[in-house]
Amino acid sequence: MTEIPRDHPRYESLSLRETITRCVELGITSRQGLIAHGRGEAIDYLIGEKTLPTALKAEDAAVATLLTAKNPVISVNGNTAALVPEETIELAELIGAKIEINLFHRTEERIARIKDHLERLGAEDVLGLEPDEKIPGLTSERAKVSKKGIFSADAVLVPLEDGDRCESLVRMGKIVIAIDINPFSRTSRMAQISIIDNVIRAMPNMIACAKVLTENAVPKKDLLAMIEAFDNRENLNETIKEIKRGLNEGRLEESTGYSKLSIW
């Protein structure tokens, strides 16, 4: 690993690259995951590497949805396991969700390594190693799912997804919440709740929201009202407008890096 100097202006971004590269070496992240990460970095630059107010709205609606779901599941791939393993475990505990590993570039070995990685960090009952169901109409390896996990879930959180599975899950009648920094991706267009944010900021934001909602024992009817008040299409359009405004007004220069929980 390259030692990144702490005072480097791009310290956080470069450290994340080191983390994800190391996870490729450990057999957790796919090599293709590096390409996806680079694509994410580029779009995050345009967003200003900060959580947009519209993303925060989507994150709140997502947490309310997961808290009211009967069988919520967080789907984990190689990039999520590298970038936000602890946050995934903490969020799953807070919202009472199962964790299921589901890979596009699926190998048994990589699933076992991700499972081991998550379990070392405290996760229990991680699903995905022994799929016993298939998502109908999906030909990729991502179709292989667990009956008590993604297959029977009513709400699924899918960080860094490919559009095909997202579409199939929606067709199965599930509520799909996507975390994808790209507002133009098929996933962002297909999901019922599209969080246009970097997963490394989205997860801590969602954890903070889940803590507030659970510690204050917010009643179910108020959670349902939060969900009802959220309009994904409108929020996506507003996100694109915000990105355009940010670029026009030169707010890119304000970018300070990956400071978690910061908003414009």
Structural Rg of the chain based on CA atoms? 18
Report the alpha-carbon distance of residue 168 to residue 119 in Å, rounded: 29
Q: Which of residues 32-61 bind ligand PTJ (CB under 6 A)?
A: 32-33, 36-37, 39-40, 43
Choice from 11, 162, 208, 264 touching ligand PTJ (CB under 6 A):
162
Find all residues with CB under 8 Å of 61, minimum gap 6, and list them.
193, 226, 227, 229, 230
Nearer to ligand PTJ, 192 or 194 (CB): 194
Output the smallest distance, CB 114 to ligand PTJ, in A.
8
CB of 78 to ligand PTJ, least distance (A): 3
Closest CA to 258 of 5, 1, 11: 11
Residue 200 sits at φ, ψ, to 5 deg, of -75, -15
To the question of whether residue 198 is assigned a binding role by annotation, the answer is yes
Query: Per-residue contact track with ligand PTJ, 74 to 113, x per CB under 6 A?
Result: ---xxx---x-------------------xxx--------
Tell me how far, at minimum, the Cβ of 86 lies from ligand PTJ, in Å. 15
In contact, 40 and 224? CB cutoff 8 Å: no
Query: Which range of residues in 143-151, 168-176, 180-188, 206-214 is near ligand PTJ by CB under 6 A?
Result: 180-188
Angular region, 261: left φ>0, alpha ψ -120 to 50, beta rest = left
Binding residues for ATP: 17, 39, 180-182, 186-187, 198-199
